[in-house]
Amino acid sequence: MTPLTIGFIGLGNMGAPMATNLAKAGHKLRGYDVAGTTADGVKPVTSIEDAATGADVVITMLPNGSILRQVAAQAIAHMGAGTLFIDCSTVDVESARNTSEAAENADILAVDAPVSGGIGGASGGTLTFMAGGSAGAFEKAAPLFDIMGQKAVHCGDAGAGQAAKICNNMILGATMIATCEAFSLADKLGLDRQKMFDVVSTSSGYSWSMNAYCPAPGVGPQSPADNNYTPGFAAELMLKDLGLSQQAAELVDADTPMGALAHALYHQFVEKEDGKGRDFSAMLPRLAARGRDA
C-alpha cells in the first residue's frame, strides 16, 4: 500500500511496538505521548496537534475513556476531511460512540478497535483487533491492522469493538478465577498439578486460561506463572476491563453475576492485597494460601 503519514498518540507498552511495526512497514510515523516516551522508527512530536496535523491516519492507545474523549477532540480538530481515526484503547462503549460521532461530524472516518494479545502480540505483530465502525472505515483501516496484528474482526457499528472486548475479557477474568480455584482445590485434595493439567486440558474443562496461559508454574506452555507472575496481562488491567463490563451491564440492565463476582475478587486482590503489578493469573497463589473461610 502507499505509505501513509500516521500520527500515533499513546506510546506506552502497547502503543510503542505497534507504532514501530507500522514504521517498519514503510509508513511515516509521528508519535506523541504525554510521558515523553518514544518508539523506534517514530518521529517524536511535542503535542497532539503536531501528531494530527496533515496526518492521513491518527491512531490512539490510551488509558481510559475520559482521556480518549479529550485527546480525540484535540486530534479531530486538526485532521482533514476524509482521513481516518483509529482508537485501539480499551474504554467504555459510550466513549467509543462519542468519539466516533465527533469524528463523523468532522467528515472523518472512525474505528474503535481494542486489541487482544498483550505486549507480546504488540511486539510480534500478532494482535487481534475487534473493530466497530462503518464498513468503509473498517476497509480503510484493515491494511494497518494486517501490519499490527494477525486478525481483525469487524464486529459492527461504532462501539461494537469495545463491546466485544469487554465481553471477551469478562469471560477471561471469570475463567481464570475458576482455573485457579480448581488448582487450589486439587492441591488440597492431593492431586498433582501436572496430572490435573493433563486431564483438564484435554477434557471438558479446557479453556484458554488452562491450555495457553496456565496459572500453575512449571505446568503447560510457558506463561507468566513461570516468571514469578511478572505481568503479561496485569491484574489491574483485568480489574479495569471487568469494571467496564459491569458498567456496560448496568447501562443495558444485563444480569452478569459471574462477571460481577470476578470484578469484586480482582478489586480485592489489586486494591487491598498484593495483586497490583502482578499478572492476573497470580490469583492462584492468592487462593492457594487461603482456607475456605478466609
Which sequence positions are flagged as catalytic? 165
Taking residue 244's Cβ as centre, other Cβ atoms within 10 Å add up to 25
| Torsion angle defined by CA atoms of residues 164, 109, 126 and 51, in that order, rounded to the nearest 10 degrees | -120
**Cβ density class 84-94: b for 16+ within 10 Å, e for less:** bbbbbbbbbbe
Tell me which residue has cell 469494571: 243
Chain-centre distance for alpha carbon 37: 19
- The C-alpha atoms of residue 219 and residue 201 are separated, in whole angstroms, by 11
The grid coordinates of residue 215 equal 496459572
Taking residue 212's Cβ as centre, other Cβ atoms within 10 Å add up to 12
The grid coordinates of residue 199 equal 486431564
Helix (H) or strand (E) holding 200: helix 193-200
| Long-range interactions of 23-28: CB distance < 8 A, separation 24+ | 25/147, 27/3, 28/3, 28/4
Nearest-CA neighbor of 286 among 186, 163, 173, 184? 184
**Hey, which bits of the chain come out as E strands?**
5-9, 28-32, 42-44, 57-60, 84-87, 109-112, 115-116, 127-133, 149-156
